[in-house]
Amino acid sequence: MLVIDSQEVLVIGGGPAGLAAAIESEKHGLATAIIDERENLGGQIFKRLGDGFEVLSDSTLGADYLRGTELISIVSKSEVEVFTGTQVLTIEDSMVYTSHPELGTRAFKFKTLIIAPGAYDRPVVFPGWTLPGVMTAGAVQTLVKTQQLSPGRKILFAGSGPLALAFSAQLIKLGAPIYKVLESSHAPKLSEIARLAAAVSGNWNLAADAVRYRSILLKKSIPFKYRRIVTKAEGQGRVESVTHSKVDDQWRPIPGTEVTENVDSLCVGYGFFPSHELFRLLQCTFTYDENQGGFKVQKDEWGQTSIPAVFAVGDGTGVTGSYAAVAQGTLAGLKAAQLAGKITENKLKTLARPHQKNLQDRNRFQRALNHMFEVMPGIYELADESSIVCRCESVTKSQISKVISSTNDISAVKAYSRAGMGLCQGRNCQRQIASMINQKYNIPFEKIAFATPRFPAKPVEIGLIADGSIQDEKYFINE
């Protein structure tokens, strides 16, 4: 039988944005619950250590860990109800259906829903990208953060954007043997540095972080190369060598600049995609911004989406980093309180002001950074004809090309080729397929819709979702 739990505010996602939203909404007297699919709150940025680890001193685990500890402890001391290990299956009307490995299905009825789903690594297809030993930055970060484990002894880091630097520096600090860092963008131009510097006011911590990250690399004499991209990973059964090339302004490899190096691991981090599955299931309105990960849910200054009861906060709504995420979460929590009549509109304005100011500063800095690390089309042209594009169903680029000669619709490509039908539910291949459609038909990305959204939001065991108390109508023909 279905257990139904009622909440005034339900927050999905226990990362920086979700924690802040739950804290703020509960603070104003709203019955609030937070659910997260992982065993611990914190999300990716504030990720906790795995079971079996004992933390003797939080400070050894870095600034993000400390920020996470602070928010999580506020939540645990508050009236916020916490449901971890709880996977969202679908959302219908005012009900969120979830599944838990021991407890099975539980439904949450809500008045306001704040979704802070987070982001995942931008999948980049190149020959050899499915070889064991090729990992995304997020996966390596998870290994290192939760298990204190390095994936290899000699790791090449290839990526782009502020996080390429931050991630590699953090990984080095946590003891992962990064051998070299490749950044596909050019070295910052003076004009870009000036723009960034102009945005630094109010973002001193971010700027200081950047300097600190760079100095970590310098101190360890780890080479950091601009304008290079990984074009191939090779090896018997796992990565043994990686080839990279110099790129032009469009991130297209320049022939004759290839260098092959022997490494045992390749960490790939070309920025992030917002996890927008739930917003798509809800049929929220979307906008498009390539540098923030492509499709992102449309929202107002409070995070309110085209569905008034649904708010969207954090990196899952356009990647802007954990500081902005906390501000967004707080603002959504405040707005929920005002909508519920807990605070007046004037009070809302007063309370929101410092967070809005904070968010504006962050966004300005982020825009300057995005400008500097713009994602260029060459990144989607690295696959060769035999490269696997859909890794779940082993569908190659040449097979997909054939299908694309017949249709420009991703749903139809999926139906004809099986690309996107596997366990990752299309997260890894759809953007690559969109890019192939874009190249063949010259259709802008914002016009290439992903396949029809369907639940479950993530795969779930049949035993955890089946409900024997639900009866069918039996006969189809009623006389």
Partner 1 sequence: MNREFLPGFLSHQENLSPLPQSTDVLIIGGGLLGTSLAYYLSKQKVELLLLERDEINREASGTNAGSFHFQIALHQLTANMTTKEKNRLSSEVQLQVEAAKLWDNLEKELNADLGVHFDGGFMVAENQDELKVLREKDEIENAAGLESFILTGQEMRNFAPFLAEDLAGIAFCPREGHANPLLVGPTYAFRAVENGAQIRTFCSVESIEVLGDGSKVNGGFRFKVKTSRGEVLCNRLVNAAGAWTMELARQVGLNLPMGLSGLHVNVTEPHEYFLKSMVQHIGRRLTLKQTHNNTFIIGGGWPAKSEIYPRRYSNLWSSTAGNLAVALRVLPMLKNVKLMRTWSGVWAFTRDFKPILGESKKVPGFHVAMVPTGFTLGPMVAQMLANYMTNESDDKLIPSEFSVDREIK
- Residue 374, both tokens: 């713009």
- Beta bridge partners, 261, equal 242
Our CB check for partner 1 shows the closer of 93 and 345 to be 93
Q: Can residue 1 be called a binding residue for partner 1 (CB under 8 A)?
A: no
Our CB check for partner 1 shows the closer of 53 and 441 to be 441
Our CB check for partner 1 shows the closer of 105 and 291 to be 105
User: CB of 431: closest distance to partner 1 in angstroms?
Assistant: 18
Which residues in 46-72 are b (16+ Cβ under 10 Å) and which e? bbbbeeeeeeeeeeebeebbebbbebb
- Residue 465, both tokens: 């979702």
Distance, CA of 312 to CA of 314 (rounded, Å):
7
Candidates 38, 232, 24; CA nearest to 124 is 232
Candidates 25, 73, 67; CA nearest to 302 is 25
Contact residue for partner 1 among 32, 366, 425, 432 (CB under 8 A): 425
Binding span for partner 1 by CB under 8 A among 25-33, 119-127, 138-146, 470-478: 470-478
Instruction: Name residues contacting partner 1, limited to 371-410 (CB under 8 A).
Output: 393-394, 399, 402-409
User: CB of 34: closest distance to partner 1 in angstroms?
Assistant: 21
Contact residue for partner 1 among 49, 131, 222, 421 (CB under 8 A): 421
Our CB check for partner 1 shows the closer of 54 and 93 to be 93
Which residues in 269-292 are b (16+ Cβ under 10 Å) and which e? bbbbbbbbbbbbbbebebeeeebb
- Residue 18, both tokens: 């979700």
Q: Can residue 59 be called a binding residue for partner 1 (CB under 8 A)?
A: no
Cα dihedral 27/28/29/31 (nearest 10): -70
Our CB check for partner 1 shows the closer of 10 and 155 to be 10
Q: Can residue 468 be called a binding residue for partner 1 (CB under 8 A)?
A: yes
Our CB check for partner 1 shows the closer of 80 and 281 to be 281
Which x/- pattern over 150-169 shows residues binding partner 1 (rule: CB under 8 A)? --------------------
Contact (CB, 8 A) for 259 and 149: no
Q: Can residue 10 be called a binding residue for partner 1 (CB under 8 A)?
A: no
Distance, CA of 205 to CA of 344 (rounded, Å):
33
Instruction: Name residues contacting partner 1, limited to 80-109 (CB under 8 A).
Output: 89-90, 92, 97, 105, 107
Contact (CB, 8 A) for 113 and 309: yes
Contact (CB, 8 A) for 171 and 303: no
Candidates 19, 15, 17, 11; CA nearest to 35 is 11
**By CB under 8 A, how many residues form the interface with partner 1?**
53
Contact residue for partner 1 among 31, 139, 412, 449 (CB under 8 A): 412
**Alpha carbon distance, N-terminus to C-terminus of the chain:** 32
Q: Can residue 460 be called a binding residue for partner 1 (CB under 8 A)?
A: yes
Q: Can residue 212 be called a binding residue for partner 1 (CB under 8 A)?
A: no
In this structure, how many other beta carbons lie within 10 angstroms of the beta carbon of residue 193? 13
Q: Can residue 459 be called a binding residue for partner 1 (CB under 8 A)?
A: yes
Which x/- pattern over 252-291 shows residues binding partner 1 (rule: CB under 8 A)? -------------------------------x--------
Contact (CB, 8 A) for 3 and 105: yes
Which residues make up the interface to partner 1 (CB under 8 A)? Answer: 2, 89-90, 92, 97, 105, 107, 283, 393-394, 399, 402-409, 411-412, 415-418, 421-423, 425, 441, 452, 454-456, 459-463, 465-468, 470-479
